[in-house]
Amino acid sequence: MKNKGEMKNGISRRRFLGTSAAAAALAVIPMSYGCKTKAAEEVPAASDKPNSKFGGVQIGAITYSWRSMPSGIENVIKYCKEAGINSIELMSTDLEQYLGIPENPMRSMFGGGGQRQAPPPPPPPPPAGTRPAAQAAPAQAQRPAGGQRAPLTEEQQAAVAKYNEDVKNFRINVDMAKVAEAKKLFDDTGIDIHIVKFSPSRWSDEEIDYAFKVAKAMGAKGVSEEIGEEAVNKLGPIAEKHDMYAVFHNHMQFATEGFSYDPFLAVSPAVMMNFDAGHFFGSTGIHPNTIIEKYHDRIFTIHIKDKTGPNTDPPNTNQVWGQGEMPIADVLLLLKKNQWPIYVDIELEYEIKPWSNAVKEVKTCVQYAKNILI
């Protein structure tokens, strides 16, 4: 990696791996970290419940980080315990699977098992103030490797239409007792859910109400979506009605001239930001703390990852933590210094080597953050 810029990461991987705390982490990382006092945060205690709050900063993960692993909330809970995490942004696919959402017919028509498929790289950022392309519809034909998307037959089209209607009916008539059952599974393990990522802005109003109702019942404070004018205008007022947050995630929009959070934040006090510090730095080269300091009272959560900057070869590329240039330590220490109540979620996006897996890598990232904060 050829560095063309001057910014350096706050802590190098070599320095990290050279510390006694990190060396211990690579051998055996305790699964739990005691109670809520400062002293207890720093000294592991005997408990089967994880604790990933260090120096007053809540470290967690978006469960997208485990997209390469078998799905389902029981597995998510297992991964949290193994990684020592007690706070998550929960992808809705795992939750809805548990709640009994109808099976997508495309899975049987085109294959697919109990393991999540990693999505393709995100498209280029849209012009400032516009909404990124929508996520794939619940049911659509899969594109064969290296080929064009196969057109649906009339039978397949009918199956998709029925599936989409069945999904809507499932959502607006959801069994809230089943939701309470799902919440209890997390509660019993000591895992808090601060966001459920439903990405519902293109759903019907009834389904959007479902998203906020279910997220609230799961103990979350918000529902997340990708940032864009249409999404913010639609979800902001509905979130306000539910006394919750609509939380919006950025990709590389800040690299677009004229992009600003301000028009979005003006829509509703219920509009909050999921600031992706990695995407911001990788696409602009600007220190993420400039945004965090300015908008700290409207940033609900931060996605954190390591990346190269835009002037490095290769540019804007995900890296193993400590091998990129994203000033992870600066971000974490700013939050610790000011004790701002902003969640920090690991978003694992770098290549995982064959001898490892996503849970092990998240576990190492948790220890990396702990080593900075304590």
Q: What pLDDT band is residue 154 in, cutting at 50, 70 and 90?
A: confident
pLDDT of 43 reads 42
Residues in the chain: 374
The structural domains of the chain, with segments of one domain joined by +, span 13-99+171-373
Helices (H) and strands (E) in the chain, counts: 15, 11
CA 126 to chain CA mean position, Å: 21
Range name among 79-83, 138-142, 186-190, 258-262 with the lowest pLDDT average: 138-142
Q: For residue range 267-323, what is the model confidence (pLDDT) as tens digits?
A: 999 999 999 999 999 999 999 999 999 999 999 999 999 999 999 999 999 999 999
DSSP secondary structure letters along 265-323 = HTT-TTEEEEEEHHHHHHHH---THHHHHHHTTTEEEEEE-EE--TTSBS-S-EE-TTS
- % of the chain exceeding 70 in pLDDT: 76
pLDDT of 34 reads 32
Q: Which two tokens stand for residue 23?
A: 């060396």
Q: What is this structure's pTM?
A: 0.81
pLDDT of 147 reads 55
- 249 phi and psi angles, rounded to 5 deg: -100, 135
Q: For residue range 329-338, what is the model confidence (pLDDT) as tens digits?
A: 999 999 999 9
pLDDT over 60 at 189, yes or no: yes
pLDDT over 50 at 31, yes or no: no
Find the mean pLDDT for residues 82-87.
Answer: 98
CA 347 to chain CA mean position, Å: 6
Spatial CA neighbour of 188 closest among 323, 294, 73: 73
Q: What pLDDT band is residue 151 in, cutting at 50, 70 and 90?
A: confident
DSSP secondary structure letters along 80-104 = HHHHT--EEEEEHHHHHHHHTPPPP
Average pLDDT over all residues of the chain:
84
Range name among 80-94, 118-132, 218-232, 234-248 with the lowest pLDDT average: 118-132
Q: What pLDDT band is residue 127 in, cutting at 50, 70 and 90?
A: very low
pLDDT of 184 reads 98
End-to-end CA distance of the chain: 30
pLDDT over 50 at 28, yes or no: no
- In the DSSP assignment, the letter for residue 65 is G
Q: For residue range 191-239, what is the model confidence (pLDDT) as tens digits?
A: 999 999 999 999 999 999 999 999 999 999 999 999 999 999 999 999 9
- % of the chain exceeding 90 in pLDDT: 72
Report whether 314 contacts 340 (CB < 8 A).
Answer: no
pLDDT of 134 reads 36
Report whether 22 contacts 371 (CB < 8 A).
Answer: yes
What SS3 state is found at 193? strand
pLDDT of 9 reads 46
Alpha carbon distance 189, 131 (integer Å): 37
CA 186 to chain CA mean position, Å: 17
What SS3 state is found at 70? strand
What SS3 state is found at 245? strand
Where b means 16+ CB within 10 Å and e means fewer, 177-187 reads eebeebbeebe
Q: What pLDDT band is residue 157 in, cutting at 50, 70 and 90?
A: confident
Beta bridge partners of 299: 273
What SS3 state is found at 239? helix
pLDDT over 70 at 20, yes or no: no
pLDDT over 90 at 44, yes or no: no
Q: With 0-12 CB in 10 A as exposed, 13-18 as middle and 19+ as buried, what is 138?
A: middle
pLDDT of 123 reads 44
Does 3.20.20.150 match the CATH number of domain 13-99+171-373? yes
Find the mean pLDDT for residues 116-121.
Answer: 42
What SS3 state is found at 142? coil
